[in-house]
């Protein structure tokens, strides 16, 4: 199945002149060197780049997990890059869902509880069971992370991220630790969310193939945007191969 995407032009999130410098010991690492970036409503973006090119740094800053050294991030007319902790917390709580490469489930909580952990603090959240249903894991909801495979854990992490019905879903190498088959299942779950719920989604990967399922591919290299491709047609995740 091939989907033709109506190109949305409504900007949800925009970043301007982002730089990030890590001071580690004697040397400064320039992770980002002036990145301009817009995220449009309902689109699916893939951030592609070699390891160390600054993808995670960019995503963390966009999601309010980190602050840039310079530049700004505008969300709904607010500059979140200079917001205080309270405002950042609200931003993360109400608008952003995260998925990490290493799932980061709380090992002491069951699948359902991991999702509930988030829905408890957000007002218009989905029912945790419903969120698990969206990623096809209803029957495993009472398992602890240690009792689940990597792919299942990642799908729970996705359920956890989308249960709050975020405006933006940010995924940092969601398939990085998975084999192809499991990886595709996870990507399908993300694709599903993007299409069913219309959640604006950014996915980080160093795997060029994944780019084919996106509306836009943004190439990152050495802390700078090296180019942007717009896919006329998105390839369904199920047809990806690597």
Ligand X SMILES: Nc1ncnc2c1ncn2[C@@H]1O[C@H](COP(=O)(O)OP(=O)(O)O)[C@@H](O)[C@H]1O
Shortest Å, Cβ 89 to another protein: 5
Question: Which residue among 18, 55, 88, 217 contacts ligand X (CB under 6 A)?
Answer: 55
Helix (H) or strand (E) holding 46: strand 44-49
Q: Which residue's CB is nearer to ligand X, number 17 or number 78? A: 17
Cα separation, 211 vs 49, whole angstroms = 11
Q: Which is nearer to ligand X, 31 or 170 (CB)?
A: 31
Q: Which of residues 157-196 bind ligand X (CB under 6 A)?
A: none
Q: Least distance to another protein from the beta carbon of 92, Å?
A: 4
The answer to the question of residue 22 lying near ligand X (CB under 6 A) is: yes
Q: What are phi and psi of 203, to 5 degrees?
A: -120, 130
The pair phi, psi for residue 185, each rounded to 5°, is -60, -40
Report the partner that residue 52 touches, choosing among another protein, ligand X, Mg ion, none (CB closer than 5 to 8 A by kind).
Answer: ligand X
* Total binding residues toward ligand X, as defined by CB under 6 A: 12
Q: 195: helix, coil or strand? A: helix
Q: Which does 29 bind (CB under 5 to 8 A by kind): Mg ion, another protein, ligand X, none?
A: ligand X
CB of 152 to Mg ion, least distance (A): 22
Among 42, 44, 49, 134, binds ligand X (CB under 6 A): 49
Among 12, 15, 31, 213, binds ligand X (CB under 6 A): 31
Give DSSP secondary structure letters for 209-222.
Answer: GGGGGSSEEEEEET
Q: Which of 42, 53, 56, 114 binds Mg ion (CB under 5 A)?
A: 56
**Closer residue to another protein in complex, CB, 160/234:** 160
Query: How, if at all, do strands 27-40 and 11-24 pair?
Result: antiparallel
Kindly state the DSSP code that residue 140 receives in the 8-state scheme: G
Distance of CA 104 to the CA centre of its chain: 14
β-bridge partners, 217: 46, 229
Phi, psi of 226 (to 5 degrees): -95, -15
């Amino acid at each position: 199945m091939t989907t033709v995407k109506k190109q949305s032009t409504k900007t949800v999130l925009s970043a301007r002149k982002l730089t990030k410098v890590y001071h580690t010991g004697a040397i400064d690492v320039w992770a980002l060197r002036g990145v301009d970036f817009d995220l449009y409503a309902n689109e699916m973006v893939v951030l592609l780049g070699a390891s160390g090119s600054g993808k995670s740094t960019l995503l963390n800053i966009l999601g309010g997990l980190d602050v840039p050294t310079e530049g700004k991030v505008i969300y709904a007319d607010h500059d979140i890059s200079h917001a205080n902790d309270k405002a950042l917390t609200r931003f993360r709580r109400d608008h952003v869902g995260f998925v990490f490469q290493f799932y980061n489930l709380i090992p002491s909580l069951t699948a359902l509880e991991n999702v509930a952990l988030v829905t408890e603090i957000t007002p218009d959240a989905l029912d945790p069971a419903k969120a698990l249903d969206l990623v096809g894991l209803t029957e495993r909801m009472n398992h602890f992370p240690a009792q689940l495979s990597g792919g299942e854990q990642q799908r729970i992490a996705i359920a956890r991220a989308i249960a709050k019905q975020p405006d933006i879903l940010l995924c940092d190498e969601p398939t990085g630790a998975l084999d192809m088959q499991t990886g595709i299942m996870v990507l399908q779950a993300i694709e599903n969310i993007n299409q069913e719920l219309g959640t604006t989604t950014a996915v980080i990967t160093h795997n060029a193939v994944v780019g084919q399922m996106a509306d836009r591919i943004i190439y990152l290299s050495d802390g700078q945007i090296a180019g942007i491709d717009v896919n006329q047609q998105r390839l369904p995740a199920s047809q990806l191969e690597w």
